[in-house]
Amino acid sequence: MANVLIIDDEQAICWGISRLCQTLGHEARTAASAEAGLQVAADWRPDLVLLDVRLPGIDGITAIASFRDRIGAVPIVIVTAFGDMTTAARAVQSDAFDYLLKPFGTAEVQAVIERALKPELEPPQELVEARVPERQELLGDSAAMQALFKRVALAAASDASILLQGESGCGKELVARAIHRHSARREGRYVAVNVAALSDSLAESELFGHRDGAFTGATRTRPGLLMQADGGTLFLDEVAEIPLALQVKLLRVLEEGEVLPVGGDAPVATRFRVVAATHQDLPQCVAEGRFRHDLYYRLCAFEINVPPLRERTGDLPILAAHFMALAGKATPRLSAAALAELQSRHWPGNVRELRNAIEHACVLARSGVIEPEHLPAPQRLTPGGETQAASSATRLATAAAQRADELLNDPTNIAAVYDRMVSEVERPLLERAMSRFDNECAPAAKVLGMHRTTLKRKLDEHHLSG
């Protein structure tokens, strides 16, 4: 049996979690403020604290330090109805064990309680929550963004190399900047390099620097971008575009912590944190021989998948308002019809396309109200000439048709073709969804469009954890 202290100014929350704790065989006590909770903890040592952020008096995040002084390294779970990057980072830095986002279900609370009270079976995951975003901060309160905030906060608290995967325009550089801003290297330089923009002939000089006279036109010694990032963070955008010859040299820099400039005879020490990003399938690039597998593993100590806008359409109102404010002049308003139009679109260009659409509409909305007719036509073409969604759907349909033919032609599959086909598609989908949301059923079920109990049943059928 464990002692659980629940601190929340909502009586219903305290009552519900208390009853759950009693059902699980634990003793629970409640408090309506952080100050009252500290008084309870003075003569009744809790084994777990569930702490709301918005409280009368001291807020939950600020109170963590006081609880640490009083009860030591007891797991503290942050409870909040609001989540953003700044709060998430504060919670990680304050050593919070996890956070629960309201509204939550009994199963979610039980899972967090069981994880917190069994640290020897599952290492604590430091999580969090936040408040008002900065101008260049990540925005959104959808389940997909809450999961992203959690991954970014954990990444910022470490010094591991990070690989950002995501479609063009989804905000990978904002994620990289957030990692740097909330990391121990925040006082160092943040150096961003778009590898795709470097010509093959100048890429080595730009990255590694050169000595005076190293080549025609090199009239002075110039430190490369890798040296400029010393003590800070190096963001390598479109890392899949690095030429193979330079991949070898970059790997050596990451392994040895030193750079040999072009034309130089002595290496120069440099230490930086690498955040790499790509919209390409990097493991596929490795399989095709276009990217070194040893460099891939060196860059991918921790992977973060940045969700496309179509997976977080609930964030459209806050994103639209943000971009309208950045447009300058008198901030227009967005009509309900215009918002509905935005929510109906597929957004192949993601957040970048949304910003362009809002800026376009702000120019035309002379009355101060953005209507559907002020929005530009939806983007449909990729550089290859077909929509990204259509291209992916075509490839998927082709592969599915080929597999269907295989199953239909196999006499051992009589009366089982449908179930076999569905199971082959369903399992990887569920695995990917659960991985995306750190095995949390509620956000995964929301994105999949099914009830949590249905998702749990399907996970059990496929022998997957959740």
CA atoms within 13 A on the CB side of 271: 4
- Segment 425-450 shows an average pLDDT of 83
Q: Domains of the chain (ranges plus CATH)?
A: 3-132 (3.40.50.2300), 158-305 (3.40.50.300), 309-374 (1.10.8.60), 410-461 (1.10.10.60)
Task: Return mean pLDDT, the chain.
Answer: 82
Residue 367 CA from chain centroid, whole number? 38
Cβ burial, residue 153 (10 Å; 0-12/13-18/19+): buried
The three-state secondary structure class of 331 is: coil
**411: cis peptide before it, omega within 30°?**
no
pTM of the prediction?
A: 0.62
- Segment 399-424 shows an average pLDDT of 76
Query: Which residues, including other chains, have CB under 8 Å from residue 118's CB and lie 6 or more apart?
Result: none
Cα separation, 241 vs 247, in Å, equals 10
Cα separation, 244 vs 453, in Å, equals 48
CB atoms within 10 A of CB 352: 16
Q: What is the pLDDT of residues 150-202, one digit of tens each?
A: 899 999 988 999 999 999 899 999 999 999 999 989 899 999 988 877 766 67
Cα separation, 432 vs 464, in Å, equals 11
Query: Which residues, including other chains, have CB under 8 Å from residue 25's CB and lie 6 or more apart?
Result: 1
pLDDT of residue 46 exceeding 90, the answer is yes
pLDDT band at 385 (very low <50, low <70, confident <90, very high): very low
Cα separation, 253 vs 193, in Å, equals 16
CA atoms within 13 A on the CB side of 176: 29
- Residue 379, phi then psi, degrees to nearest 5: -70, 130
Mark 158-177 as b/e (b = at least 16 C-beta within 10 Å): eeebbbbbbbbbbbbbbbbb
Six token digits for residue 280: 């390409």
The three-state secondary structure class of 320 is: helix
pLDDT band at 394 (very low <50, low <70, confident <90, very high): low
**103: cis peptide before it, omega within 30°?**
yes
Cα separation, 458 vs 431, in Å, equals 11
Cα separation, 347 vs 362, in Å, equals 19
Question: Which amino acid is present at 28?
Answer: A
Would you say 253 and 193 are in contact if contact means Cβ atoms under 8 Å apart?
no
91-100, 206-215, 352-361, range with the lowest pLDDT: 206-215
Q: What is the pLDDT of residue 31?
A: 95
Mark 325-334 as b/e (b = at least 16 C-beta within 10 Å): eebeeeebeb
Integer CA distances (angstroms), 214 to 200, 211, 221, 374, in order: 16, 5, 9, 55
Q: What is the pLDDT of residue 126?
A: 33
Cα separation, 316 vs 36, in Å, equals 39
pLDDT band at 417 (very low <50, low <70, confident <90, very high): confident
